[in-house]
Amino acid sequence: MFMKMGIIVEKLAIYGGKPVRKTPLPPMFPGALFIGEEEKKELLEVLESKSLFRYYGPKLLNKTKTFEEKFSQYIGVKYTLGVTSGTAALITSLASIGVGPGDEVIVPAYCWIMDPMAVLFLRAIPIIAEIDKTLTLDPKDVENKITDRTKAIIAVHMRGFQCDMNALMKIAEKYDLALIEDVAQACGGTYKGAKLGSIGDVGAFSFQLNKVITAGEGGAVTTNDEDIYKRAAVFHDAPFYARFNIEPYPGINFRMSELTSAVLLAQLRKIDTIIERMRENKKKLLRELSKIDGIELHTPVDPEGELGLAIILFFDSFGKAKFFAKALNAENVGAWHLFDPERRDLHVYYHWDVLMRRITLTPEGCPFTCPYYGKRIRYSGDMCSKSLEILGRAVNIDVNPLLSEEDIESIVEAVEKVMNVIENT
Ligand SMILES: Cc1ncc(COP(=O)(O)O)c(C=O)c1O
């Protein structure tokens, strides 16, 4: 114990005090932590069938087709296409709406590096738009970024928090743009009652290991539009254009294997339980955290429908947020400062520049009519200073579905302990 301005404060672990927790919290792999007998059984069935390819085999079980049907029912769309990863889903989604060389695609300043990379893969130009305090696209800035070359907007539901879909839909309609939802981090979340991935023109999901449900790798494209579905299907399995009686398209083979679908079928049966647990744990945490002096909590656009996989705390300065995250980690409660220029971080703009310098539109990749022909596009923090300011004051605490009552108490105790110091020094 020590005294600060007349208040007795337990010594922080960061200063050599005893941490609130002896060991770290369970690792944040929601779907993976629920892998069990059901996944094993589904997988063994596929192995025993010797039919690991989705379209044929000695005794095809059609697990991929079944997964696609069940996922469509779950998300509430007409079509699902299983693919190999979230990145494959993004690239396929962009290709399915006709994004190509020189087109501009609006991408939020806070996303995953594969959002701009998927755009670049199609030789199109990612244009950064600001986020707001929802941590998702600021619709006003999206509108500011539209030019006559804009083809699409990628609405990324980061950390399970929904974008303001009504506002974005209105903008997309007004300017005749396609709206892609990146649902990689938000599978199962809803916006005003509709599942994310069923609202825009097309949804892109990831089933990589740290996602809500997982097969280690995997992805899905969802849509209600038959033409988008057909183009996505041909892009993801190029030789099969004949099946849909449409023009051949230079696609890539991104087919989901029967092994992946087998695991996902079992995971899909568990998704509601996983989400329910995260939401319950988040509710308990919010109830206690909101009583602590100085706490400012993030509010999603639709708190009922968000996934509950993270709590975001805002501070009134970058320095306080940085200190809080460091001090909380020392207490063995994992926390993550959402933007720190000293850290290499693939969620924010500045790395884009480094990576894109290698790929940006060279004369071979860009037609003569494209204004970016032969030019290097530079990205800088000035393009999204509002987003960086918000992220620099934000700290993420994961909400694991397997938190025990003791875990929850320890998170609250650790936050209170660190906040006490921040508020009183
Ligand atoms: C928001 C977002 N988009 C896209 C992806 C890409 O998914 P994958 O790693 O399956 O390619 C991820 C995954 O990490 C993600 O978090």
Question: How far, in Å, are 93, 126, 307 from residue 99 at the CA level?
Answer: 9, 11, 30
Report pLDDT for 6. Answer: 45
Whole-number Å distance, alpha carbon 405 to ligand 1 midpoint, is 31
Q: Does some domain include residue 415?
A: no
Whole-number Å distance, alpha carbon 227 to ligand 1 midpoint, is 25
Cβ(112) – ligand 1 distance below 6 Å = yes
CB contact set of 381 (below 8 Å; sequence gap of 6+): 341, 349, 350, 388
Q: Does some domain include residue 72?
A: yes
Residue 156 contacts residue 136 (beta carbons within 8 Å):
yes
Q: Does some domain include residue 178?
A: yes
The predicted-structure confidence for 204-225, as pLDDT tens digits, reads as follows 999 999 999 999 999 999 999 9
CA triple 77-87-94, angle to 5 deg: 60
**How distant is the alpha carbon of residue 146 from its chain centre?**
23
Q: Does some domain include residue 231?
A: yes
Share of the chain above pLDDT 70, in %: 91
Residue type at 165? M
Residue 234 contacts residue 220 (beta carbons within 8 Å):
no
Using the predicted structure, report yes or no on whether residue 324 has a pLDDT greater than 80: yes
Domain of residue 243, CATH code: 3.40.640.10
Report pLDDT for 383. Answer: 83
Q: If you take atom 8 of ligand 1, which residue's CA is the nearest one? A: 86
How large is the angle between the packed helices 258-268 and 63-75, nearest 10 degrees? 40
Q: If you take atom 5 of ligand 1, which residue's CA is the nearest one? A: 86
Mean pLDDT computed over 62-88: 98
The predicted-structure confidence for 228-253, as pLDDT tens digits, reads as follows 999 999 999 988 777 777 777 778 89
Nearest to 293 by CA among 20, 21, 17, 9: 9
Whole-number Å distance, alpha carbon 184 to ligand 1 midpoint, is 5
Helix (H/G/I), strand (E/B), else coil: 27: coil
| CA gap 103, 372 in Å, rounded | 10
Only one residue has tokens 């393009």, namely 383
Question: pLDDT averaged over the chain?
Answer: 91
Mean pLDDT computed over 10-30: 94
Cβ(85) – ligand 1 distance below 6 Å = yes
- Which residues does residue 190 pair with via DSSP β-bridges, in sequence order? 195
The DSSP 8-state label assigned to residue 133 in this structure reads T
Using the predicted structure, report yes or no on whether residue 327 has a pLDDT greater than 70: yes
Mean pLDDT computed over 36-55: 98
Q: If you take atom 10 of ligand 1, which residue's CA is the nearest one? A: 86
Q: How many distinct structural domains can be found in the chain?
A: 1
CB contact set of 279 (below 8 Å; sequence gap of 6+): 307, 308
Taking every pair of C-alpha atoms in the chain, what is the biggest distance, in angstroms? Answer: 78
More confident residue, 168 or 371: 168
Q: What residue spans of 76-113 are helical by DSSP H? A: 86-96
Residue 339 contacts residue 392 (beta carbons within 8 Å):
yes
Mean pLDDT computed over 318-338: 97
Length of the chain: 425
Report pLDDT for 1. Answer: 44
The predicted-structure confidence for 287-318, as pLDDT tens digits, reads as follows 999 999 999 999 999 999 999 999 999 999 99
Q: How many CB atoms lie within 10 A of CB 152?
A: 24
| CA gap 96, 94 in Å, rounded | 5
Q: What is the strand order of the sheet 150-156 is part of?
A: 79-83, 219-223, 202-206, 178-182, 150-156, 104-108, 125-129
The DSSP 8-state label assigned to residue 123 in this structure reads T
Q: How confident is the model at residue 54 (pLDDT cuts 50, 70, 90)?
A: very high
Share of the chain above pLDDT 90, in %: 79
Structural domain containing residue 209: 37-270
Q: Does some domain include residue 290?
A: no
Q: Does some domain include residue 283?
A: no
In degrees and rounded to multiples of 5, residue 2 shows phi and psi of -145, 165
Using the predicted structure, report yes or no on whether residue 347 has a pLDDT greater than 50: yes
Structure tokens belonging to residue 228: 């988008």
Cβ(150) – ligand 1 distance below 6 Å = no
Cβ(206) – ligand 1 distance below 6 Å = yes
Cβ(93) – ligand 1 distance below 6 Å = no
Using the predicted structure, report yes or no on whether residue 415 has a pLDDT greater than 80: yes
Whole-number Å distance, alpha carbon 293 to ligand 1 midpoint, is 36
Cβ(92) – ligand 1 distance below 6 Å = no
Ligand 1: atom nearest CA of 111 is 1
Q: How confident is the model at residue 376 (pLDDT cuts 50, 70, 90)?
A: low
Mean pLDDT computed over 271-296: 97
Q: Does some domain include residue 276?
A: no
Q: Does some domain include residue 340?
A: no
Report pLDDT for 32. Answer: 97
Pocket test for ligand 1, best of 112, 120, 338 (most atoms within 8 A of CB): 112
Mean pLDDT computed over 46-56: 97
Question: How far, in Å, are 99, 120, 175, 233, 235 from residue 250 at the CA level?
Answer: 13, 16, 28, 12, 7
Whole-number Å distance, alpha carbon 207 to ligand 1 midpoint, is 8
Q: How confident is the model at residue 410 (pLDDT cuts 50, 70, 90)?
A: very high
Q: How confident is the model at residue 2 (pLDDT cuts 50, 70, 90)?
A: very low
